[in-house]
Amino acid sequence: MLYFASDYQEGAHPSILQRLAETNLEKHPGYGTDEICASAGKRIRDACGCPDAGVYFLSGGTQTNKIVITSLLRPWQGVISADTGHISTHEAGAIEEAGHKVLTLPHTEGKIDAEEIRAMCAAWEEDANHDHTVMPGMVYLSQPTEYGTLYSPEELEAIRRVCDRFGLKLYIDGARLAYALAVPHSPTLRDLARLCDVFYIGGTKCGALFGEAVVIPDPAALPHFFTVIKQHGALLAKGWVAGIQFDELFRDGLYLKLGQNALEKAHRIRDVFRRAGFQTAFDSPTNQVFLVLEDNVYERLSSVISVSFWEKKNETHTVVRLASSWATSDEEVSQLEKQIDLLCASPTTEVTGV
Alpha carbon separation from 212 to 60, 204, 215, 324 (Å, rounded): 6, 7, 10, 19
| Count of positions on this chain that bind a second copy (CB under 8 A) | 77
| Least CB distance to a second copy at residue 295 (A) | 15
| Least CB distance to a second copy at residue 225 (A) | 9
Given 43, 100, 107, 265, the residue binding a second copy (CB under 8 A): 100
Given 152, 227, 296, 352, the residue binding a second copy (CB under 8 A): 227
| Least CB distance to a second copy at residue 177 (A) | 15
Of 279-338, binders to a second copy (CB under 8 A) are 309, 327
Is 249 an interacting residue with respect to a second copy (CB under 8 A)?
A: no
Among the residue ranges 68-76, 159-167, 261-269, 334-342, the one whose residues contact a second copy (CB under 8 A): 68-76
Residues 200 and 170 sit within 8 Å (Cβ to Cβ): no
Residues 292 and 305 sit within 8 Å (Cβ to Cβ): no
Closer residue to a second copy (CB): 108 or 133 = 133
The DSSP bridge pattern shows strands 317-323 and 288-294 to be antiparallel
Given 51, 184, 237, 345, the residue binding a second copy (CB under 8 A): 237
Of 204-223, binders to a second copy (CB under 8 A) are 204-205, 209-210, 223
Among the residue ranges 46-54, 61-69, 148-156, 281-289, the one whose residues contact a second copy (CB under 8 A): 61-69
Where b means 16+ CB within 10 Å and e means fewer, 108-137 reads: ebbbbebebbbebbeebeeeeeeeeebbbb
Of 140-179, binders to a second copy (CB under 8 A) are none
- Name the nearest CA neighbour of 87 among 266, 72, 76: 72
Alpha carbon distance 275, 70 (integer Å): 47
Of 104-143, binders to a second copy (CB under 8 A) are 128-129, 131-135
- The 8 Å CB, 24+ separation contacts for 16-22 are 16/207, 16/208, 16/209, 16/244, 16/245, 16/248, 16/249, 19/244, 19/247, 19/248, 20/241, 20/244
Given 15, 42, 60, 264, the residue binding a second copy (CB under 8 A): 60
| Least CB distance to a second copy at residue 25 (A) | 5
R_g of the chain, CA atoms, integer Å: 21
Of 259-278, binders to a second copy (CB under 8 A) are none
DSSP state of 55: E
Q: What angle do CA 213, 214, 218 make, to 5 degrees?
A: 140
Given 8, 124, 298, 310, the residue binding a second copy (CB under 8 A): 8
> Binding pattern to a second copy, positions 9-48, x when CB under 8 A?
xxxx-x--x--xx-xxxxxxxxx-----------------
